[in-house]
Structure 1
Amino acid sequence: MSARYYAQRRLNPYRGVVQYVEVGDGEARSLDGVTWHLRADDGQGWVRPVGVWVEGRGLVAGVGARHPELLAALQGRPALPFPLIDSVELWLLDKESGRPLALLDAQAPSRHHHGLAELAWLPFALTYRGYHSAALAERLPAGAGAPRHRDFLERQVNGRARPYAGAQWFRRRPDGAGEGLTGYRLAPAWQGRHLGGAEFPELLVTDAWNSRLEKSAIHDYHAWLSPFLLCWPGLTDATRAELELAAWRRPRWLAQVYRLLPKVIDRAGLNAALVAARLQEAANAEEDGFG
């Protein structure tokens, strides 16, 4: 039984790139390349969690030993990161131009389905409260009752698609171009259209905005998520270098995903950031111990 190794993005909101090992009716998935969560058919037609496998330790929980093919595929897996296969992308569309505005979803071509979609872009999970934009802090009021920076972002992006937001699936080619497929509230001429790679934002949201504040807000958003965006293959060197500078300032998040980076331009910067992450982890452990 042959194993499949691939990766897919978690989107709307973006929460990183998941690595998958798939064998028959079993799979293992990981967000960091170290801890793998195993799922398999329970024999009654349900796919359920069956264990946790950790690099260097093996199976640490569950009944994964009942699925030796999956464990063997994990132990013999190729180098990380695995190829990204979700090349069919759903883009929220700019209301005026009809061009891609923000990435909502991505699927593998073999698993693509048109089903009902949420036509609102989300910058973060609803429970996340940590986001801060330096640009927005300079311009927005502070204190009790002040708008949260994540809310400003959400209104900024979704407002450009409303009223009656539309979205379209595109089959992306290796050169970045895209073939328009089905969608939601599409103009008749848009189905089957072809857009060049430059028509698509390189990251999650377009950086083409009318005001300096709007541009800065999107720049700060991508910088905030930089460790996880560096997991994308195909970024230009200029974009990757800019994201690296931001990611070195977020060492704890970087430490979670550095094994999944397909390319590193500033290797010395990465190493320094990982040292900073270890120091932060030790300091937090000491603080927790005094609690």
Structure 2
Amino acid sequence: MSGLGTPRGPEFRSPDWSAAPDPAAAVAAPAARGRRLPAAALAALAVVGLSAGTGGVAGYVAGRDEPVATAAPSQGGVPSDLVGAAARVLPGVVSVQVRTGQGGASGSGFVFDDRGHIVTNNHVVAAGGVRGGAVTVVGSDGRRLTAEVVGTDPSNDIAVLRVDDGSALDRLALADPNGTRVGEPVLAVGSPLGLSGTVTAGIVSALDRPVRLGGSSRQTAVQTDASINPGNSGGPLVNARGEVIGVNTAIATLEGGGSIGIGFAVPIERARQVADSLIARG
């Protein structure tokens, strides 16, 4: 029996890359501080980054004083408004691919404005050691575009990319930051395990959940039970209106496992402020 684990991130590469993952990157020692999980819980519940590549492990730890809540069971059937939301959102979501001499990293992103800016996670581009260089984004129609890294903010795990042909992608609407409610239905959209255009449904499980991004100071996050996995990093968490309420950044996982229905997203208002600042600085 142990508390929340220390930072660790699953190594992941898109299926068409030949480099093999490093199994050592998935090993972490459990943390003994703070409240302990009930005796029935399995060992080493960790909060980990959703995407990692050669040269970097992306991991995040939840606040030590926060109990872990069990995700609400999913309801039978998918609301029709989520079907419409998925149709509106998918054209504005991209797969982000970073290639290096040692392999590469993969994640997701979404179109932030009409000038070709794309928001993703810092750990997606940092895993490849890229700053000011070029990466590739792939749209929902399969179109591949070269992108440059405009700027990164490791403390908030946000990065901004830019493509020259911004008209080729659809900008997503951003939600009212004060309108998100616990229990409302949401979609996590992205490229988990390299499977682009993947949509999973869930609810907002909690708001203002303290998490530690990049090993730095605590930040608050949106918690969701929508299934998110390695490769979802940087993709949008959207409400039933197709508006972005957060940027998917981390999951809680039992040691050695994948998504267990507890994921975390950077709230859209903080992501917007960081993105605007990075764009202004160029």
TM-score range, shorter chain: under 0.3
Q: Comparing both structures, which one devotes a greater share of its residues to strand?
A: 2
TM-score relative to the length of structure 1: 0.26
Bigger radius of gyration: 1
Could you tell me the TM-score, scaled by structure 2's length?
0.26
- With a CA cutoff of 8 Å and minimum separation of 6, indicate the structure with the bigger relative contact order: 2
